A and B are shown apart, each in its own frame.
Chain A
Amino acid sequence: MNSVTELGIIIKNLETIITDEDIKELNLALKDIRQRYENTASVIILIKMVQTLIKYLSSKKEKAHADSMPLLQSISGNLEKIINTPYLEDNEVNKIISEQTREYKLFQSKITSNPTIPTEDIDNLKAVILAIDWEISDTTLESFDTVVSQMISKYKNYKIHYSFLKIMHATGKFIGVQKASAPANSISFLRSVFDNFHDIVETKEMPFKEKRRLIEQDMERFQDFKQDISKQKKTNAAGPDTDPAGDDRDEDGSEVMPALSHVKSSNDTSEEEFGPLIELDEDESSLEAEKNGQESLHLPIPGNGLDPDEQKDVMDDLFTVKDSPADDLLDAIHLMEVHGDKGQNQAMKMLDQADEDQAGLKNFRPERKDTTTPIPEIDSRLDAFFSLDEPDQADELETIEDTQSLDDISEQALEKTEDVSESITPFELDDESFEEMIPENDAEKIFSPDLILLNKLKDAFVKKEYLEDEAVLDSIQEDIQGLRKMWADDSQKQSLLDIISISVNLPSSVSPATEEPNTEVETDEFMETGQDLPGAESKGVLGKIKSMFTR
């Protein structure tokens, strides 16, 4: 019996898992055949195949591909044929060899197309691609490059995987170079290549044919992609399409229909039938007018016009305010923008949800019932809250009274009989206006030297010891001098310091109760400087206070 036949028998009798015994026997047989036919190329080729297969089988054992045994058998069958068949023509031999080679290669690609790629690798790749989806920057591009390059070197033996990765790498590199000029579909192309790659990794049973089809498809698309890039971009010459800023349109109507007449019409125009009309006394408003002139109201939270530093400072306070319905409203507006008109419903649904989430709360829709009289507690509470006369909240520092408008101070000066402590009130306002003008954060406020002096002065005025004690008065003057030096550059603060020192010199000689409010002085300053400047208002205020004490 010749070795070939022997080989054939051994192979036929191989069990699923090849044993060391088997390997020994096989190798012996192969060695023998090799020696005998060392000049026959075809035989050598087939022997090599068998040897490789044996190695594969022994290393993989039970994990060997299902096709390995059949292949082995087919090779040995062909080997036998070539050796044992006399007068086999060359082209016949070639045919067999090429057939076998093809089969062998097929098998090879089968076994090499199933590497176990850990999910970690796939996830990393997905992450860097998503990062590029959101932002094309040097950072994201670098991370992408790193991850893909790593994977390429790791899987370079697996042709199909390698090909996918190479396509992705090239696409990514290209996007990195082109940046904004990359065509619109660049990223979606990259993603689709990744998706196919992901499929072939995840689908274990995917037939080889399918995998090949996918990679070939993507290779073609990649070629198309490259071609698109090299095409010229056409420019559209569209005419300008500007929309002039919409203004409110005022229509002149000679005949004016009352509001809501389409809903309800009432022919009864007798005055008693209207709701009560509360008129505004001319006297009241004119008194206000004299004092305030065209006083503009300083906004606590300025809009776009003011210094960002100031905005920040004021916004810090807001930070401590708890979650408000205004936030829900803002979210609803976001939603509305995305969905246009449909968004109205979505926005409202969202807000409804926000309400529902507050379980255990009741919601009521107030209905106007003209017959309902509010309980007295409501009105008395409102009166108490909105009253400016009495000190509603008792504070530790008894001289800090409720915020009073400038008018009230001068009114009080006119109307009430005051002792000296009342005249101190304006200085509290001065302190506040200092804080408004210096936009510092709280930490700085605590430790700044000028504030230390100010607080010292404040204490001194509270205690009123300077009225009796000369020494205290001297120390006050010293502090004022100190502040003068610190605030040398600020004319407003200098004025305030003037006022303070003037009043300190006047405790016994002048009673402010007899002073009349001077409304003429320095109203021009803040009228001219316009509405937005915070300094403007305080200048006028300072002027008035100053004038009160210098007459």
Chain B
Amino acid sequence: MLNQSQLDAIDQAIIENLITEGIDHVIYMDMAGNTIAKHDNGSNSLDSTAFAALAAGNFAAVDAMAKLVGESEFSLLFHKGEKSSIHFSKVNDDTLLIAMFNKDISLGLVRLKVAQTIEQIDKILATD
């Protein structure tokens, strides 16, 4: 479990690296579909409970598919929409980071920023 200071630090990392950098929604969640932290830039609304549950199922299903084709996991899980797209990233075996973004920012950049954020989260989680 995470203590309050870890949660605060994670919030900070997400806001600084992602929300202020042009990403619309970020959800940090566990593999069971529970939201640990969520942030957005106010641009649109999202039913995050259903979203997180489905995201967890989606990730689990894709992970199972990876094993079916002989991969331990897929490194990119990304759904491209007309206006909004979502990017999944595994933080560790227990948690996921989902980033939802619009056309103003490229996937390449999102991936870099997410990777950077995850590095910071890993450090935060290691301090216990």
Residues of A near any B CB (own CB < 8 A): 132-136, 140, 179-180, 182-188, 233-243, 245-246, 303-304, 308, 311-312, 315, 318-319, 330, 333-334, 336-341
| Contact between chains at A242 and B7 (CB < 8 Å) | yes
B93 close to chain A: CB less than 8 A: yes
B121 close to chain A: CB less than 8 A: no
- Taking a contact as CB atoms closer than 8 A, the residue among A182, A304, A337 that contacts B55 in the complex is A337
A-B interface pairs (CB < 8 A), number: 130
Which A residues lie within 8 Å of B70 (CB)?
312
In this complex, the interface size class of chain B, counting residues with CB under 8 Å from chain A, is 35 or more
| Contact between chains at B109 and A186 (CB < 8 Å) | yes
Known: A242-B37, A315-B68, A337-B54. A134 touches B108 (CB 8 A): yes
| Contact between chains at B106 and A241 (CB < 8 Å) | no
B124 close to chain A: CB less than 8 A: no
| Contact between chains at B15 and A136 (CB < 8 Å) | no
- Taking a contact as CB atoms closer than 8 A, the residue among B20, B47, B55, B108 that contacts A234 in the complex is B20
Which A residues lie within 8 Å of B105 (CB)?
184-185, 187-188
Which B residues lie within 8 Å of A186 (CB)?
106, 109
Which A residues lie within 8 Å of B112 (CB)?
136, 179-180, 182
- Taking a contact as CB atoms closer than 8 A, the residue among B21, B48, B106 that contacts A188 in the complex is B106
| Contact between chains at A180 and B113 (CB < 8 Å) | yes
Which B residues lie within 8 Å of A234 (CB)?
20
Known: A184-B21, A187-B109, A315-B64. A337 touches B36 (CB 8 A): no
Q: Which residue of B lies closest to A233 (CB)?
A: B20
Which B residues lie within 8 Å of A179 (CB)?
112
Which A residues lie within 8 Å of B55 (CB)?
337
| Contact between chains at A241 and B58 (CB < 8 Å) | no
Known: A236-B15, A241-B38, A319-B68. A188 touches B7 (CB 8 A): no
Task: Give the docked Cα–Cα distance between A140 and B64 (Å).
Answer: 29
Which A residues lie within 8 Å of B60 (CB)?
303-304
Known: A242-B36, A243-B37. A333 touches B57 (CB 8 A): yes
Task: Give the docked Cα–Cα distance between A243 and B51 (Å).
Answer: 14
A157 to chain B, nearest CB (A): 32
Task: Give the docked Cα–Cα distance between A136 and B65 (Å).
Answer: 26
Instruction: List which B58-80 residues lie within 8 A (CB) of chain A.
Output: 58, 60-62, 64-65, 67-70, 72, 79
